[in-house]
Amino acid sequence: MEASTTFKQDLLLREYGRNVQDLVNYITSVEDRSERTRLSQLLINLMAKLNPQLRDTQDYQQKLWNHLFVMSGSTLDVDSPYPLSAMEYLNDKPQKIEYPLSTPRYKHYGKNVELLIERATELQDPTERDAAIVSLGKLMKTLYRSYNKDSITDIVILDDIRQLSKGQLDMDLGYIERNNLFESNVKPQQENMQNPRSNQPQNRDRSNDNRNRKNTRPSTNQRNK
């Protein structure tokens, strides 16, 4: 199969498909200007149905005409209701993405945790700083558990906070452990939910009672007396 010369344009405006591109090529080959204009308007109506999301944008009709102009290779000569533009930005190379040059010290925490610790070191109020340490401890403990299923102690989290903050963030370990400050707020389950049968009345074993009742029935000789 012979490749089309407008393959690059099809990639840029692939939402219209090959058939629309062929129609554009036919319109550009028509010699009569008025006929080209009429066919272009019909094709614009078709393109609007094939690309309905453009209707939610501003000046979508003008964008459709610009798309038609692009697919014609910037050669379409018609009486357009809008000034036609080749939209050169479609052919521009994408902007280069700058990748971070530094990697986080602890990958399981990520770079954002280091940024949060850096912001926490700027706090001057001791109460706000302690609250920031508690929030960081909860977050870091959750991230560690998602990265490693092994259990982790509060002292490890607190040591990591000290190292990442270069000793600027610190808190009493005993106070943290006594109040479970680094644990997420999880409502404890009620006792009756853990053992739903604990509050139910126990079923009485009536087998012995039934046997005793059978034994207490009077015998035949007693009835005859």
For residues 150 and 224, the model is more confident at 150
Q: What is the dihedral of CA 11, 16, 19, 20, to 10 degrees?
A: -110
Mean pLDDT calculated for residue range 123-144: 92
pLDDT 10s digits, 104-130: 888 888 888 999 999 999 999 999 999
pLDDT 10s digits, 174-190: 999 999 999 876 443 44
pLDDT 10s digits, 11-54: 457 777 788 888 888 998 999 999 999 999 999 898 888 888 87
CB 40 within 8 A of CB 68: yes
For residues 60 and 121, the model is more confident at 121
* Residue 76 clears pLDDT 80, i.e. is over it: yes
CB 141 within 8 A of CB 157: yes
Enter the tokens of residue 79.
């009486």
3-state secondary structure of 141: helix
At residue 202 the predicted structure's pLDDT band, cuts being 50, 70 and 90, is very low
Over 184-196, what HEC string results?
CCCCCCCHHHHCC
